[in-house]
Structure 1
Amino acid sequence: MPNVETVPPDREASWLKKLGPGLITGAADDDPSGIATYSQAGAQFGFNMLWTVLFTYPLMVGIQVVSARIGRVSGHGLATNIRRHYPAWLLYSVVGLLLIANTINIAADVSAMGEALKLIVGGPAQLYAVAFGVISLVLQVFIPYRRYVRILKWLTLALLAYVATAFVVHIPWSRVLVSALAPHMSWKPEYITTVVAVFGTTISPYLFFWQASQEVEDQLADPRAQPLIRAPHQAKANLRRIKIDTYVGMGFSNLVAFFIILTTAVTLNLHGITDIQTSAQAATALRPIAGEFAFLLFSAGIIGTGLLAIPVLAGSSAYAMAGAFEWKNSLERTPMRAKQFYGIIAISTVIGIALGFTSIDPIKALYWSAVINGVISVPIMVVMMLMAVRPEIMGKFVITPKLRVMGWLATLMMAAAVAAMLLTL
């Protein structure tokens, strides 16, 4: 196993090619459900919601770096580490609620993608939703991880549609800057509820499970790599890569969220359209105000982000279940060598598609999914922070004091957000 210092300079310089778990995790955070939340924030409260994505960025980076380091250092995902070191009731409660929340989120996302394609070309939205769900499932099951992760990386470019959309319309940048840095706050229940929704959308439990597991996948895909607790000489390059990857990925995520809020604020809010429930509604409302090109960009972005997010939602459920029940798991394995793992991916996706054909209100379902995500995020974050300082899990790579502060601040913020959310119920 070569020492880090012996790695050739050209390989060391290729860190840009190694962007993966952090970039994909951050981009998947802006799924169609997230787009709906950010659109509602911008439509209802205009520029006064821009501060939320600036505020959450360092906290999001902190907690995602913690999850990534746990995976890369220990060589195991979050669920496996929880199973090994914490009570069974905590593990099964968290994993069960995560599975429910992710499945509801998949249902909302495939429905939004179907509606978006219907807006662009016409036709049956439900049929399109089925097609998108099946395509996503087939790609996950039959394409090996190393090839599939390249597809996911390219799909992150779909999010640039929301940056481009903002430049199609006129934006008063001086007013935007003032509002973003010195917003007009409100203590009205609807304002607090929207802030909580943005926080909950930005910091979600499925992101923790996914990024930790992807670090494990990347390590297993490289025959030279080992968990850092067993190969400390590999730590310098890998911890630096995790830091860069996560800063870039979360920055990309929050930049896109910023522009979605900005676009809907400068168009919908300023024209008195303040009630947006879905991403497809946001696209429809943009059409007469911002024009056909902005409408097409916004709608196409919904489809692209959905194709990126569904595998992350289904995959994080599968990793969590596999870790909880000691199943073989990896997107690099064939379906026959990891039947239960791929079975969870298939079941989550199929149930998500099927929910679109029921009488369940997708808006209410998504709301309760957000409630579940908010409730389980706090104990998961607490457990992650406790794991990250345990030498039996992290060896000599326990997290630094700076990272502890960032992680605990993110945890306290989410706890406060959940408390506020429960009060507004």
Structure 2
Amino acid sequence: MDQPLPEPVAERRERTGERKPGLLRALGTGVITGAADDDPSAIGTYASAGAKFGLAFLWIAPVVLPMMYVVVYVSAKLGQVYGKGLFAAVRDRYPRWVLWPIVIGAFTGNVIEAAANLGGIGAALNLLVPVPVPVIVGGAAALILAFQILGSYALLRRIFRWLALALFAYVAAAVMARPDPVEVLRGTFVPRIRFDAEFLSIIVACIGTSLSAYLYTWQSNQEVEEEIGQGRVTVRQRRGATDGELRKTRRDVLVGMLFSNLILYFIILSTGATLHAAGQTEIESAAQAAAALEPLAGPAATVLFALGVVGVGFLAVPVMTIGAAYDLVQGFGREGSLHARPSEAKLFYGAIAGVTVLAVLLNLLGFNPMRALVWSGIVQGFSVPPLLLLMMLMTNDRGMMGDRVNGPLTNALGWATTAVTFAATACLVATWVL
């Protein structure tokens, strides 16, 4: 557990106010992060795993849950205790030759993911309304950008929470598939592992998708945004955390990651019980999975699956464009916040607009979302392990965290997850070579 709080921090919290829990705040930034983790590209990955390997692949959900929790928790804790976002902390602690390769990797991954998710929104919505995909992509991007620039942080947070509910469509789709309960239990608790390239690639893809770098940058910066919303506008006011604040953060992150993991589970369950059972094992996108469900589970299942893609896409795209802006401005040592007006943070909001335009252009230029996601996965696959390593080092650095360094359990989970991500990257390289 974390060590007792130094008195000066407690005094500052009394003056600036400590977070009030409340139901909506308890289901706050962690749920938004968890929902963004199940973005359209992730839905495509999980649907592909379910179609290819069926219910026998359900065990991946409980295996990745503790890893999902610990990486998001340490990133949240870093932002909350140190008072700055992830890349601002890296810039303070490490030389530029360490900082910039990771910033460039995370920024590039965010741009590609945003483009792929806009394409996912277009393809899924095209199943429901007869409008050309490029028109949908451009309209969705314009709407999302308008909310980011013209809306407030509080408005965005409320919208994101409601959009997260769209993911429950996959729970309904799985129930409509009527899976065999015995096979579900067996697939969940009895791992069946193969050591061929196809199986290992899907495992690496699921781990990489569940632990994407944009989650850490988003969560750490949302902790800072929440602090600013409490009136703690300076780094000194934000630095440090009380026992109560850290408990709320752990609860928030745990609820969010349980939510994300539950949706991961039901996506594999719905596609495994329908597509795999019918011999349709090759699925390349979430929209393709939605279309394939109709003859097997009825039109309602298709609509539910497609609406889930659209709803979470509208949540995930701004998480990625804003996340890319955080990465860029903090890499340059500048400040950027959703609490600031566009005229007060021109680089930050300019980066959001630029990333959105790039994402649209990639779609309009004949960009293949799934092929690009492979490259995004490669970029993120090589940037995530060192980023996790830096996060673990920083959250164990007393110069940055004071007495709030990681406890034994957080360290055990965190270092094990770091080792797994390095091993997953090595396995990915091995599958290319072999």
Judge same fold: TM > 0.5, yes or no.
yes
Deviates more, 1:101-110 or 1:222-231: 222-231
Matches within 5 A, 1:35-114: 35-114=43-122
How far apart are 1:31 and its partner, in Å? 0.5
Equivalent residues of 2:26, 2:251 under 8 A apart: no
Aligned partner (choices 125, 138, 148) of residue 146 of structure 2? 138
Determine the structure 1 residue equivalent to 2:309: 302
Q: 1:12 to 1:308 in 2, by over 3 A?
A: closer
Equivalent residues of 2:56, 2:186 under 8 A apart: no
Mapped pair 1:261 → 2:264: no
CA distance in 2, matches of 1:4, 1:155: 35
Equivalent residues of 1:49, 1:195 under 8 A apart: no
Equivalent residues of 1:4, 1:237 under 8 A apart: no
CA distance in 1, matches of 2:23, 2:358: 38
Mapped pair 1:391 → 2:398: yes
Deviations 1:303-346 (A, max 9, x none): 00100000111111111111111223001111111111111111
How far apart are 1:96 and its partner, in Å? 0.8
Determine the structure 1 residue equivalent to 2:373: 366
List alignment gaps of at least 5 residues for structure 2. Answer: 1-8
Matches within 5 A, 1:272-351: 272-351=279-358
Deviates more, 1:124-133 or 1:379-388: 124-133
CA distance in 2, matches of 1:303, 1:230: 36
Deviations 1:125-169 (A, max 9, x none): 110011111111111111111221111111111111111111112
Determine the structure 2 residue equivalent to 1:382: 389
Equivalent residues of 1:67, 1:212 under 8 A apart: yes
How far apart are 1:103 and its partner, in Å? 0.8
Equivalent residues of 1:74, 1:229 under 8 A apart: no
Determine the structure 2 residue equivalent to 1:244: 251
Q: Amino acid of the residue matched to residue 272 of structure 1?
A: G
CA distance in 1, matches of 2:131, 2:44: 22
CA distance in 1, matches of 2:105, 2:116: 17
Aligned partner (choices 225, 228, 245) of residue 220 of structure 1? 228
Mapped pair 1:210 → 2:221: no
Mapped pair 1:152 → 2:160: yes
Equivalent residues of 1:228, 1:235 under 8 A apart: no
How far apart are 1:2 and its partner, in Å? 8.2
Deviations 1:336-378 (A, max 9, x none): 1111111111111111111111133322111010111111000
Moved over 4 A (4+): 1-7, 224-232
Determine the structure 2 residue equivalent to 1:403: 410
TM-score normalised per structure 1: 0.95
How far apart are 1:391 and its partner, in Å? 1.1
CA distance in 2, matches of 1:320, 1:74: 17
CA distance in 2, matches of 1:38, 1:393: 37
- Identity fraction in percent: 38
CA distance in 1, matches of 2:104, 2:126: 34
List alignment gaps of at least 5 residues for structure 1. Answer: none
Mapped pair 1:197 → 2:217: no
CA distance in 1, matches of 2:61, 2:277: 21
How far apart are 1:86 and its partner, in Å? 0.5
Aligned alpha-carbon RMSD (Å): 2.0
CA distance in 2, matches of 1:24, 1:227: 24
TM-score normalised per structure 2: 0.93
CA distance in 1, matches of 2:20, 2:119: 43
How far apart are 1:174 and its partner, in Å? 1.7
Q: 1:4 to 1:85 in 2, by over 3 A?
A: closer
Q: 1:179 to 1:354 in 2, by over 3 A?
A: same
Equivalent residues of 1:205, 1:373 under 8 A apart: yes
CA distance in 1, matches of 2:268, 2:298: 18
Q: 1:15 to 1:397 in 2, by over 3 A?
A: farther
How far apart are 1:115 and its partner, in Å? 1.0
Equivalent residues of 1:162, 1:259 under 8 A apart: yes
Aligned partner (choices 340, 356, 359) of residue 352 of structure 1? 359
How far apart are 1:19 and its partner, in Å? 2.8
Aligned partner (choices 176, 191, 199) of residue 168 of structure 1? 176
CA distance in 2, matches of 1:77, 1:382: 16
